A = this chain, B = another copy of it.
Amino acid sequence: MVRYSKGHKEEVRKAILEKASRRLRSDGIGAIGIKTLMGDAGLTHGGFYAHFPSREALISEAGEEALRRTYEFLKRHTTKAPPESRLEAFVAGYLSQQHLEDMSGGCAGAALAPEIAREGEEARRRFTGGLRLIVDYLADLLPEGGSDEQRIGRAYSIFAMMMGAVQIARVAIDTSTSDGILKAARKSSLALANSGWDKEQGV
């Protein structure tokens, strides 16, 4: 019944991480149960500890993994557009009705940030690194000018707005409310991105 093969264990580990990263985003940290998760991966619960030392360690890694996937999705989505409209593509892709609905495949920041803030150092450090990946990428899409520090600061602000807008829109019940929030945030994101650097003083 046990099937060995070269990279078998590594594949199983990746499968567990992938399931965990999706369930984490769709249902939150509290919904990560070892039994359910291993069941999703086609295994029984006892085997979990051959791959991860504890539930907490899994959550640390799965949070980072979820952000890495978010980053890769955004990058893939954005680079489909021609260079001059990539910022618009990023903003439109993130602040879309589709993103609201696809929690398990969507941004881990929007789905998990406050919960991760309550986790241990390891989880928070990894999550911060994952967020930085996205923010750095967004900073590169901003119009030229300003210092690196200014660009990063502005990218953080815009990303924070997009995250918050998706969260608020997801709480709303009716589509007209959530649509209005997304629309306003799309406009504000671009307005902020395109406002000049000249008046900046300090970060």
Contact = CB atoms under 8 A, between A and B. Distances in A.
Contacts of A118: 27-28
A97 interface: no
A197 B54 CA distance: 53
In terms of DSSP, what is the predominant structure of the interface of chain A? Answer: helix
Interface in A73-120: 109-118
B161 A160 contact: yes
A72 interface: no
A131 B29 CA distance: 24
A43 interface: no
A111 B114 contact: yes
A184 B168 contact: no
A124 B172 contact: yes
Given A157-B161, A160-B161, A171 B203 contact: no
A167 B202 CA distance: 23
B185 A203 contact: no
In the A-B complex, the 7 residue pairs with the smallest Cβ-Cβ separation, listed nearest first, are: A160-B164, A153-B184, A157-B188, A164-B164, A161-B161, A117-B170, A113-B167
Interface of A: 27-30, 109-118, 121, 124-125, 127-128, 131, 149, 152-154, 156-165, 167-168, 170-173, 177, 180-181, 183-185, 187-189, 191-192, 195, 200, 202-203
22 contacts: A27-B118, A30-B30, A113-B164, A113-B167, A114-B167, A116-B171, A128-B173, A128-B177, A153-B188, A156-B168, A157-B185, A157-B187, A160-B164, A160-B165, A160-B167, A161-B164, A163-B164, A164-B164, A164-B167, A183-B202, A183-B203, A187-B203
